[in-house]
Amino acid sequence: MKCPFCANIEDKVVDSRISSEGETIRRRRECLKCQRRFTTYEYIEKTNLMIIKKDGRREPFDRNKILAGFLRACEKRPVSMETIEEVVDSIERSLQKNYDKEVVSSDIGELVMDHLHGIDEVAYVRFASVYRQFKDINQFLGELKDLLNKKEGVGDVGKRKA
């Protein structure tokens, strides 16, 4: 590592710490020539995911688009910004972990729907209505019925164990 003060390339690491998220390492270094200390950060290099859209176009992954979708779906709902940020972070980590270079946009939409289903059912239905592009009220009602069936199914499982 090149010293920012004297440009010497020899140093020693005095202290290393992992960030609270575990995604960076902070290192305190001391130059062996001028004895001045400086800090460096190491990050895992993330590959840029490409999103394959429905029409076949490819565009770079943009975390802000997922965040914007969550914000629209959760507008005027009792969902904290902290919860939204955590879920978007989780989705981004999942995409980085499970996909090498490309991901189909529908996979991202399904991930968002899965997370919204567990957070707020109204936000889930709002997102589903845009994502699934309901053409009429019957498609909308079908999604509501599926949501109710899933909810009742979870309730039934709990009743059997009791």
How distant, in Å, are the alpha carbons of 41, 114, 144 from that of 138?
A: 54, 22, 10
- Domain positions in the chain are 11-43, 50-131
Write down the pLDDT at residue 33: 97
Which residue in 61, 53, 147 sits closest to 96, CA to CA? 61
CA atoms within 13 A on the CB side of 2: 2
Write down the pLDDT at residue 9: 95
Question: Is residue 8 pLDDT above 80, yes or no?
Answer: yes
Write down the pLDDT at residue 71: 94
- Residue 146 burial (10 A CB sphere; 0-12, 13-18, 19+): exposed
Q: Please name the amino acid found at residue 40.
A: T
> When comparing pLDDT for 109 and 157, which is higher?
109
Dist. CA 142–CA 144, nearest whole Å = 5
How distant, in Å, are the alpha carbons of 16, 33, 37, 61, 135 from that of 10?
A: 17, 7, 12, 38, 66
Helix (H) or strand (E) holding 124: helix 121-131
Strand order in the sheet with 58-60: 58-60, 50-52, 102-104
Q: Is 143 helix (H, G, I), strand (E, B) or coil?
A: helix
Question: What confidence tens digit (pLDDT) does each residue in 103-146 have?
Answer: 999 999 989 988 998 898 889 888 887 877 777 777 777 777 87
> Residue 153: which pLDDT band, with cuts at 50, 70 and 90?
low
Stretch 8-19: mean pLDDT = 92
Write down the pLDDT at residue 46: 66
> Residue 159: which pLDDT band, with cuts at 50, 70 and 90?
very low
Question: Is residue 25 pLDDT above 80, yes or no?
Answer: yes
Question: What confidence tens digit (pLDDT) does each residue in 29-72 have?
Answer: 999 999 999 999 887 766 689 999 999 999 999 989 999 999 99
> When comparing pLDDT for 25 and 143, which is higher?
25
- Residue 70 burial (10 A CB sphere; 0-12, 13-18, 19+): buried
Dist. CA 73–CA 79, nearest whole Å = 10
